[in-house]
A = this chain, B = another copy of it.
């Protein structure tokens, strides 16, 4: 304990000892009780909590970085060649995967964040299982191609596939708690809170990545621990990385392409 307590405690004990002299069988009830606190002792004014303007309709919160406002893909680049612009199609306030142009990712890199994103499977969609409206959101892009932590995007409305491969699954890891996917043609919303993994100086994992996902207002991943970056074959294994872009997948399927709109991010 700290030095300055010594006198205090000695006094306390003297009183206590005295009070106990003739009550040896009741000792347990005679120990000091902490003095009553005042209400204000647990009221903390600092630091002041920053006020923001929250979500209003389709307007991003005031402290968000808007990643897509319906006009252009200026916040995105091609994953194949990050020096080149993202080659997907922007039209009528949404952008759409352009098959064969490859994945796209944000110019900026992030660590922990809240992300809002909306995605739509085309109303007329063919294919089955993984071959029906397949894309993906990489919560952190840890390399080229499909490297990273993938939150699955897929038409999972009346389209069963493996549970840990359907929409809102941590792909090949953890199924969503329920299937909250809307019909093709309707917009799906992901509200995501991502906590990046941390590593020790020696390169080993300190704490795994974690993610919470609301899918159309329904909790589907509740602070889920990620097992490592997504792998299509085999078992995931963490590798050191720092801040990373967010990536969207051009899955290259013959099925009609997926569209996105209203994307914003808040660093945490």
Which residues in A have some Cβ–Cβ distance to B below 8 Å?
Answer: 1-6, 8-10, 12-13, 17, 28, 31-52, 54-55, 61, 63, 111-112, 114, 116, 128-131, 134, 136, 146, 150, 152, 154, 158, 160-166, 171-172, 175-182, 191, 193, 195, 198, 200-201, 206-207, 210, 212, 214-219, 222-223, 230-235, 251-253, 266, 268
- CA of A41 to CA of B32, assembled, Å: 10
Q: A3-B146, A212-B223 are in contact. Are A10 and B177 (CB under 8 A)?
A: no
Report B-chain residues with C-beta under 8 Å of the C-beta of A180: 52, 54, 61
Residues on the B chain within 8 Å of A161, using CB: 9, 45
In whole angstroms, what is the CA distance A207 to B10 when docked? 36
Q: In the bound complex, what is the Cα–Cα distance between A139 and B43 (angstroms)?
A: 21
Give Cα A206–Cα B235 distance, bound, in whole angstroms.
23
User: Known contacts A46-B31, A49-B175: does B230 contact A2 (CB below 8 Å)?
Assistant: yes
A interface: dominant SS? loop
Verify B163–A46 contact, CB threshold 8 A: yes
- In the assembled complex, the Cα of A127 lies from the Cα of B45 at a distance in Å of 18
Docked-complex contact A50 and B128, CB < 8 angstroms: no
B54, A216: Cβ atoms closer than 8 Å? yes
Q: Which residue in chain B gives the minimum CB-CB distance to A51?
A: B179
A39 CA to B146 CA in the complex, in Å?
15
Contacts A17-B128, A233-B39: A216 and B55 contacting too (C-beta < 8 A)? yes
Q: Which of B3, B162, B200 contacts A32 (CB 8 A)?
A: B162
B28 to A235, Cβ gap below 8 A? no
Inter-chain contact B218/A162, CB cutoff 8 Å = no
Residue in A43, A134, A218 whose Cβ sees the most chain B Cβ within 10 Å: A43
CA distance A134 to B2 in the complex (A): 9
| B contact residues around A152 at 8 Å (CB) | 1
Report the separation of the CA atoms of residues A154 and B12 in the bound assembly, to the nearest whole angstrom: 17
Residues from chain B with a CB closer than 8 A to the CB of A46 are 28, 31, 163
Q: Smallest distance from the beta carbon of A33 to chain B beta carbons, Å?
A: 7
Smallest CB-CB A-B distances: 10 pairs: A54-B216, A2-B232, A55-B217, A43-B162, A31-B45, A54-B180, A51-B179, A9-B130, A223-B223, A2-B146
